[in-house]
Amino acid sequence: MPRDSLLDFFEDISRSDDTFIVHDDGYRVRRATYRQVATAARTFGQRLIDAGVAPGEKVVIWAENRTEWVVALWGTLLVRAVLVPVDFRASADLVTRISAIVRARIVLVGDQVEVPATITGEVWALGEVAGTTDIVAATPHDTAPWRPAGSPEGTSLAEIIFTSGATADPKGVTITHRNVLANIIPIEREIAKYRRYARPFHPLRFLNLLPLSHMFGQSMATFVPPMLSGTVVFSHGYSPVEILRQIKSRRISVLVSVPKVLDVLRDHVQRLYPHTADPDPLVGRHWLWRWWHYRDVRRLFGWKFWCMVCGAAPLDPDLEAFWRKLGFLVVQGYGLTETAPIVTLNHPLRASKGTVGTPIGGVKVKIADDGEILVQGENVTQGYYRPEGTDDVAAEANAAFRDGWFHTGDIGEIDASGRLLIKGRKKEMIVTPQGLNVFPEDVERALLHQPGVRDAAVVGLKVDGEERIHAVLVIGDGADVPAIVRGANTTLEDHQRVWSSSIWTHGPLPRTEGTQKLKRKDLQRWAAGGATLPGRGGHEGTSLTDIIGRHVAGRTLEPDTTLEELGLSSLDRVELMMELEEAFHTTLDESMLTGQRSLRDLEALLASGGEHSPVAGGAAAVSAGPDAPRTTRQATGASDAAITFPSWNRSRPSWLLRRVSLPTWILPLGSLYMDLHVEGLSHLDGLKGPVLFAANHQSHMDTPAILMALPPAWRYRTATAMAKEFFAAHFAPAGRPLGQRLRSTTLYLLSCQFFNTFPLPQREAGTRQTLRYVGEVAADGYSVLIFPEGRRTETGAIDRFQPGVGMIGARLGLPVVPIRIDGLDRVLSKSMTWPVRGPVRVAFGEPIHLTGDDYPALAKQVEEAVREL
């Protein structure tokens, strides 16, 4: 149908009740349909109007990938305001400068950023103003069409995306509705030809690891999946184990990422299955033979997964060949922010190895005399943002638009079939003393093939006024640098050979956040000896010392400082571990952050890419997940004890058995010993689950008493945490008598079945896995009952609440309902073996919404609420 603006596309997709977005923030999974996102977007748009935001005013969004990001995009466009996305890993200084340049009216911030006091514009918390509450509350009847008076024209500004700014003034690309539509319409027409053939494979799920602040990531989340009624999955973690867990458990069809992610995944797969590093044994064979030959890899990813869409940076041909060898389809495209973003794209059914495809409809591409790629079409921006009073940076940058063509700065060529090949960046090209051009990527590929090389970057260094090829290497223990250089040079042409090299010993090579492109200028300055060490990413504070320092403020950190000396709690370790995994793109286990391991040891482990972490644990961790068959889920790491979580007890048959058993014989049996008095049920009126029930712990009969007190609508949708250590003979049977093992296993299984319980470790590693499991339980629509004291009372008095209740409530965003139990310590105390009848009181309090990360203080707040009942 004709589209005059992006809002026409929005109206088309807003009527579907299919799942649009699944967001796993590392703790809890949240889902939203197309209709719910549209409803929330309209609600957010109205909020902008109420705040006085006028058409054309700028709304900056500085946040991680999440459902609310997409809500804010559409809500901003609905009121004809302009969205200004910034990568959530950008520095506060950069965001402050961008906000000042565009004179931001509103700045939307995510949960993972710290807002500077100097920022321009009114700051709104994204999760609150475009948040989950609006989405979950939406129903199919809430979506009456709404659009503010007047509609944007095709030439109306939709977004401003800043593409640089680390040292100079940021450069903002202006993107209009027409620019984006020029990308959408040709792809939509092509997809329409095959839509009916794709129906047997529905739902198509896309795991999108590109930031939404990047135009390609935005396109592959907001525009392309809706054309296929697809589902987009946003994940918190970027370690290979987490990516594989998401792909298998969510039954992902397509992975959208930068090449660096595929490189990390290749290393992980080759460690798990060394035979995948061997030469291709099936040259010329059908892809079905590849699926069968590499069926162990297929099981690792899940049989629904088949495609990798790669963009934002060049893809190494050897990396592409590796994944094709395993039977996966690799689809490359080419584009820039200035082209909104797609210029060329490989057709998924006719993908050509080593190329980035042919121009999409309406786009023209030609190669200049010096090899530069030139682009023309309605997708090309009209230039860079110029606030009142043209600045020199923007004026100079706009020189890229001349003679009716956009000069991309990339070097390439077009083959006989019309497909584009990318050679490298014009400004990164090294010109040898002989006047010959060398592309760093070609030399890097040769270096990466040498034994002992973990990563490599090639830059040009001035030597006696001449530019020479210099390699910056990340190497493994015992690697021979001269042998590495000699080996690479034997495979290179004379003019490509490495002249000099240096060893990088400061963790991973510095790369841009999001697209993971090498920061060659920083490396060039460092190699020349004229600069301090560049950071890893787009913002300061990403070294190991910086990250740990934020968790142990005021402590002096030395290389020999042990992790035990830091005094981190289990909850502190979880947060530190997740931050380290994201910063270093690796996988850690809680046991790696305990004991006598020093900071020097941890830094070496991170520098090695985490490959000393247990491979077996990584494989087990992706063998099942939140959407896996209803068996058990095992979270395994370097610790000796694995945590096995039940999911079978939330299956339909198990639920039906529990639904019949609880009211007919289990709870009536409990009522023989309890004269139950219930108070405060009115606090549950109008409350939407799931919630976190937090009760004091008096007796083994606490759970039956609370289930008896709960209305049926809550009773049969509640899961209860129980101490894992109580069932020690079941979880650690070695060396225990057979009778003890049988008794423990029987009690455990009966408890799981009839009270929907799950194990909660009290004294061992496993906090992160437990938190993730609780999040999965909540995502399935179950409330969770916990006893934050961690043990039964011996005197009847309420003991101190452990900080875990604060973390669960705050991180999962669950309302906490305090529950006080009185009298059960006299019905069945800790010292009694059989109950006696007596009065029991169960009181429900007003729900508490926890925020912040001072978990002991939050736990104290819940404890006080329970005491007051």
512 lies in a domain? Answer: yes
Amino acid at 773: Y
Q: Distance between CA 854 and CA 807 in Å, rounded?
A: 8
**Bridge partners of 425?**
410
> Is residue 60 included in any domain, yes or no?
no
State whether 498 and 583 are in the same domain.
no
Tell me: do 678 and 795 sit in the same domain.
yes
Largest separation between any pair of C-alpha atoms in the chain: 97
- Model pLDDT, residue 685: 92
Domain boundary among 499, 527, 555: 527
Nearest CA to 582 among 563, 606, 616? Answer: 606
Same domain as 500, residue 554: no
Comparing 171-180, 434-443, 492-501, the range with the smallest average pLDDT is: 434-443
pLDDT in tens, 9-27: 998 888 889 999 999 988 8
Q: Which range, of 292-306, 359-373, 545-559, 802-816, averages the lowest pLDDT?
A: 545-559
Tens digits of per-residue pLDDT, 277-312? 888 888 777 778 888 888 999 999 999 999 999 877
pLDDT given at position 698: 93
Record the tokens describing residue 693, joined without a space: 């029930």
Query: Using CB atoms within 10 A of its CB, is residue 376 exposed (0-12), middle (13-18) or buried (19+)?
Result: middle
Looking at the fold, whether 610 and 726 belong to one and the same domain comes out as no
Residue 676: pLDDT over 80: yes
Please state, in angstroms and rounded to a whole number, the distance separating the CA atoms of residues 556 and 551.
12
Q: At what angle do helices 804-812 and 767-779 cross, to 10 degrees?
A: 40
Residue range 487-512: average pLDDT? 86
DSSP 8-state secondary structure symbol assigned to residue 814: P
Within a domain: residue 493? yes
669-689 per-residue burial string, b: 16 or more CB within 10 A, e: under 16:
ebeebbebebebeeebeeeeb
Distance CA 432, CA 639 (A): 53
Contact residues for 401 (Cβ-Cβ < 8 A; gap 6+): 380, 382, 383, 407
Quote the distance between the C-alpha of residue 285 and its chain's center: 36
For the whole prediction, is pTM greater than 0.85?
no
How far CA 590 is from CA of 326, 440, 543, 571, 586, in Å, comes to 33, 39, 19, 10, 13
Which one of 468, 498, 527 terminates a domain? 527
Strands (E) located in 110-181: 122-125, 157-162, 172-176
Rounded Cα distance between 10 and 206, Å, is: 19
Same structural domain, 820 and 705: yes
What is the pLDDT confidence band of residue 571, given thresholds at 50, 70 and 90? Answer: low
3-state secondary structure 537-550: CCCCCCCHHHHHHH
The CATH number given to whatever domain includes residue 661 is 3.40.1130
pLDDT of residue 540: 43
| 720 and 783 together in one domain | yes
CATH number assigned to the domain comprising residue 591? 1.10.1200.10
Asked whether the predicted pLDDT for residue 168 surpasses 80, the reply is: no
pLDDT band at 761 (very low <50, low <70, confident <90, very high): confident
Among 388-397, 473-482, 659-668, the range of highest mean pLDDT: 659-668
450 with 579, same domain? no
Instruction: Taking residues 255-270, report their average pLDDT.
Output: 89
Q: How far apart are CA 812 and CA 858, in angstroms?
A: 14
**Residues 709, 576 share a domain:** no
- Does residue 302 lie in a domain region? no
Distance CA 228, CA 253 (A): 12
The percentage of residues in the chain with a pLDDT greater than 70, rounded to a whole number, is: 83
Rounded to whole angstroms, the Cα distance separating 772 from 645 reads 11
Q: Is residue 71 part of a domain?
A: no
Whether residue 681 is found in the same domain as residue 591: no
pLDDT at 628 over 70: no
- Which domain covers residue 462, as residue numbers? 429-527
pLDDT at 253 over 60: yes
Among 93, 218, 63, CA closest to 538: 93
Is 240 within the bounds of a domain?
no
* 8 Å CB contact between 566 and 549: no
Sequence-separated (6 or more) residues with CB below 8 Å from residue 735? none
Binned at pLDDT 50, 70 and 90, residue 563 comes out as low
pLDDT, position 531: 46
Q: Containing H/E element for 113?
A: none
Residues 603, 698 within the same domain: no
| Domain closes at, from 588, 621, 654 | 621
Is 522 in the same domain as 448? Answer: yes
Mean pLDDT confidence for 108-124: 85
Contact 380/179 with Cβ under 8 angstroms? yes
Q: Which tens digits make up the pLDDT trace of 704-715? A: 999 999 999 999
Asked if residue 23 is part of any domain, the answer here is no
- Residue 468, pLDDT score: 86
Distance CA 492, CA 123 (A): 53
- Three-state DSSP at 438 gives strand
Backbone φ and ψ for 742, nearest 5 degrees, come out as -65, -40
- Taking a C-beta distance cutoff of 8 angstroms, is the pair 697, 793 a contact? yes
Question: What does the pLDDT read at residue 387?
Answer: 66
- Overall domain count for the chain: 3
Mean pLDDT of the chain: 83
Domain CATH number, residue 488: 3.30.300.30
Residue 253 lies in a domain: no
Is residue 752 domain-shared with residue 686, that is, in the same domain?
yes
**pLDDT score recorded for residue 519:** 86
Between 625 and 752, residue with greater pLDDT:
752
